[in-house]
């Protein structure tokens, strides 16, 4: 989907957003997608701080995964069912939300603009949208996440461009 907006759209995240630029398109100067494969939460935070400093106006979308979490082990996290996996996923999300909340507070202190949160877990968990590794999104998952981001941005007054 191509989007039209009066300001650029920047997407920053780990390997989950690697092909997101093919789903969410904005041709404005300063737009783009930065994928830091294997990036830890703090790596993404540093990149966000760099990008936000140079952005005058625009939409900054941040995606962060659990790359900095302690390795638990394949046997303990697969199959992707059961109480242990659910606890691990929830604790991962809680840690991410805490880190993003800190960023939000700092952002608001500096009055750089509004910061909103979108939870992709509900979109991804409902379907079989992961690669065989159980971590990364397959093509259908990337497309679904891209459509969800487009819907979310449209709700914040973005307009679709005819292809």
- What span, in angstroms and rounded, lies between the C-alpha atoms of 113 and 7? 13
Residue 89 neighbours by CB distance under 10 Å: 15
- Determine if the pTM surpasses 0.75: no
Identify the three-state secondary structure at position 8: coil
Tell me: the pLDDT tens digits for 72-115?
A: 444 444 555 555 665 666 677 777 777 777 776 776 666 555 65
Tell me: the pLDDT tens digits for 119-156?
A: 666 666 655 777 776 667 788 888 888 888 888 777 77
What CATH number is attached to the domain comprising 72? Answer: 3.40.50
Minimum mean pLDDT among 3-7, 46-50, 106-110: which range? 3-7
- How many domains is the chain built from? 1
> Given this model, what pLDDT does residue 89 score?
65
Bridge partners, residue 4, by sequence: 159
- What span, in angstroms and rounded, lies between the C-alpha atoms of 11 and 17? 8
Closest among 89, 82, 100, 95 to 135, alpha carbons compared: 89
φ and ψ of 46, to 5 deg: -60, -45
Minimum mean pLDDT among 25-39, 44-58, 124-138: which range? 124-138
Mean pLDDT of 59-69: 67
Q: Which comes out higher in pLDDT, residue 57 or 149?
A: 149
Residue 51, domain extent: 3-160
């Amino acid at each position: 989907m191509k989007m039209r907006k009066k300001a650029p759209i920047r997407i920053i995240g780990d390997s989950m957003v690697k092909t997101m630029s093919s789903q969410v398109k904005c041709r404005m100067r300063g737009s783009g997608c930065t994928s830091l494969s294997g990036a830890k939460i703090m790596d993404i935070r540093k990149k966000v701080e760099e990008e936000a400093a140079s952005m005058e106006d625009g939409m900054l979308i941040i995606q962060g995964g659990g790359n900095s979490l302690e390795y638990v082990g394949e046997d303990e996290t697969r199959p992707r069912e059961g109480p242990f996996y659910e606890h691990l996923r929830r604790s991962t999300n809680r840690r991410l939300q805490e880190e993003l909340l800190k960023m939000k507070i700092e952002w608001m202190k500096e009055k750089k603009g509004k910061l909103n949160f979108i939870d992709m877990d509900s979109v991804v968990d409902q379907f079989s949208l992961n690669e065989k590794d159980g971590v990364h999104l397959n093509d259908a998952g990337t497309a679904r996440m891209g459509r969800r981001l487009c819907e979310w941005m449209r709700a914040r007054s973005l307009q679709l461009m005819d292809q």
